[in-house]
Each structure stands twice: as C-alpha cells, then as structure tokens.
Amino acid sequence: MKFTLYTEEADERPIYITGNFNAWNPKDSRFQLLQIDPNNYYIDIPNDFLNEIIEFKFTKGGWENVELDRYGNITPNKKVLKSENEFSHTVEKWRFNWGPFKKEFFPIVEIISEEFYIPQLERHRKVWALLPYDYYVSDKNYPVLYLQDAQNLFNEGSPYGNWEIDKKLSILAEYGRGDVIIIAIEHGSEERIKEYIFDNDNVANGSEGKKYIRFITDTLKPFVDEHYRTKKDRDNTGIGGSSLGALISIYSGFLYPEVYSKLLIFSPSLWVEPDNNFPMMSFRVPFKTKIYLYGGEQEGSKMVKRIQVFENYLKKWEKKNLFDFEFKTNINPEGSHSEFYWSQEFPRAIEWLFYNNTENPVEVTPHQDTIEN
C-alpha cells in the first residue's frame, strides 16, 4: 500500500509512519518515508505487514514530535482499509519536544512552604505542589509523585535548564492523563550530596540520606495527605528524581515499599553503590513495585551498563520473593546527563507509572473539555 504525505512545515527531521502494524513504534527505521522535495514524502509498505484495517499516525521520530492539526491540537489516529491500496494525507504542524503547550492545561503551581521544617535534619526547605489544572473545580482525589531537585524541575533560570514538568503536565492533561499531583522538594544546595547519599561516608562525610527519606515519608507525606485531596495508599504514591535524586528515591522505595509503589529513576548515580548493596525490607507477601529506569548512552560508558546490572540484580531479589518488580527500561542512544533529556522522558514515565502502561499518550482520545476565558 502506498502512503503519500504533504507537510506544510518543512524541516530536516525525517518522517515516519507508525501504527498497529509495528506496535506503534514512532521511530521505526523500516517505516521512514522517502522524501520527494521539502514538502512531499511517500512510502510503499508491503501488504504482508498490514492489517485489514490500518490504524496509524505520522511522526518526526517520537511522540514528542508527532503530527498536529493547524491549531496545534492532537489529531485522531487515522484509519484506512488495506483494500484501498493508497492513502494521501496532509500534516499542517508538528510537535517539537512535546510543544506547543496550552496554557489552559497548565498545572496550578503552589508553594506549600518557603521554609518547610525538616525535624529529622533540623533545617528548612522550600516545597512546591503542582496540582492538576482543574483541581479546584473538581472533587477528585489524586495520586501523588514526590520529586527531588525542585530547582531543576520547572522554574526558569535554573543554571542547568529544567525538566519543564509544568509544560509536560499540560501535555498529559490535554491527552486526559494529567490527574497527578507532583510534590517537588528543593535540594539543600551545599547539603544536597549529604542528603541524597544514604550511608556512604566515603562519598559524603556525614551522609544524611536516612534522615531525608524519613522526612519525606514520615513528615511531608502526612502533611500533603492532610492538606490536599490525595489518594493516600501505596498504589497511588510514587517517588523519583535524577542522578543523586534518583539514587535516594531507590532507597526510599526499597525501605518503604508499604508507602511507595512507583519509582521514577532517571540516570541514577549507581556509582555510589557499585555492588548494588541496597537495604531492602522483607515482607511475607511481596509488594508489587513499578520502576521506570532511564539512561542515556552519552552519559559516560558505564551509565547504561550500571542500569542493566542494577535491573538484573533486582530480578535476583525478585526470585527470592522479596519484591514483585515490573520494569520499564528506556535507553536513549543520544541522551546525555542533562535536564533536556529528562524533560523528554518525563511524560513517558508518568504515563507508564500511573496509567497502566497500556498506551502512549498520543494514542489516547484527546481531552475534550473546553476552558472559557
């Protein structure tokens, strides 16, 4: 079957077709379109690959770069019968790193406290809440994700850039997948390394990770559950971060599996624990824990290998019936140790951790609510 495509927005990104014939892989080299000129493309797909009813979309190499209509809205999946033999389509706009972002879906950003007291460490910390855009006009209760390093998550002006989670949450909300509260805890600047190292004085003299974990679990979470409409149970509670923030989140999940069922682990600093000697609680009935692991091949030669060794190590624990793990590991060949790549990965992780990992957001029926000004 022949597919032809005209696109008004021309750039150098290659175009792919993805659908129910390739498990919705948005960057499948077998299905890259051939370019005729800056605006016209085509691909001939052998019928043996195709279902009788073909469902598909066009992308520029990922769901963060998928096709849009002229207004920047999500396009529904296209459907065509294989018997038609040919299909022509026009794409008027494309996403670029998940943008453009619609203000009406942006989360409500609140400062819980400029100086939230940490009794375990006898110091104070700024803590934020990012609430779903419709939080104050709904009566829903929401799952919660606790994230480290708030300075690098959404505020402009971070020296290293930021994850843009406010923008990414607006994209998820547009796809009907934004019903999550994010609690963002700022790191302690000069105290950051000590607070994110669990118990390794070779790396951080006087490491304070044990106390920091207790702060989030024993002090901050009860406060959040009291003041916001949260789903308090472990099935609706997650924790995560990047680099050292990912490392301390691993410890949190393993020491408090009765509290956290979802771990968002980006580029973890596993060099601190090269032997993977993480303490774990043992329960008669293993808790099911979902772990989203991400790393980039450009982060150094050992990052990806350490992630793979760590995953294999957890599988050994699983065989001992200590835990029931469910993994999603994504390795980006182009990824470096930076907020830009963690930003790209964030929507994928949220979708997999909190929305039953059945579909990518782009395959979901768009959110239909309209916001009146």
Interval 134-152: pLDDT, tens: 999 999 999 999 999 999 9
Report helix angle 339-354 to 165-174, nearest 10: 40
pLDDT band for 323, please (50, 70, 90 cuts): confident
User: Does 224 have pLDDT greater than 50?
Assistant: yes
Q: Residues 291, 297, 301, 305: what is their CA dihedral angle, to the nearest 10 degrees?
A: 30
Q: How far apart are CA 58 and CA 77, in angstroms?
A: 9
Task: Return the top range by mean pLDDT from 151-165, 190-204, 282-296, 336-350.
Answer: 336-350
| CA-closest candidate to residue 259, choices 226, 242, 281, 284 | 281
CA 349, 354, 358: angle at the middle one, nearest 5? 80
Contact 44, 87 (CB under 8 A): no
Of 267, 256, 154, 269, nearest to 212 by C-alpha is 256
Q: What is the pLDDT confidence band of residue 371, given thresholds at 50, 70 and 90?
A: very low
CB 80 within 8 A of CB 87: yes
Lowest mean pLDDT among 70-74, 92-96, 118-122, 346-350: 70-74
**Distance in angstroms (rounded) separating the CA atoms of residues 234 and 217:** 11
Q: What is the dihedral of CA 230, 232, 236, 239, to 10 degrees?
A: 90
Residue with tokens 């073909």: 54
Q: What is the pLDDT of residues 25-69, one digit of tens each?
A: 999 999 999 999 999 999 999 999 999 999 999 999 988 899 999
Q: Quick one: pLDDT at residue 368? A: 43
* Sign of the alpha-carbon torsion through 69, 361, 231, 294: negative
Question: What is the rounded distance in angstroms from the CA atom of residue 160 to the CA atom of residue 151?
Answer: 10
**Residue 250 phi, psi (nearest 5):** -60, -50
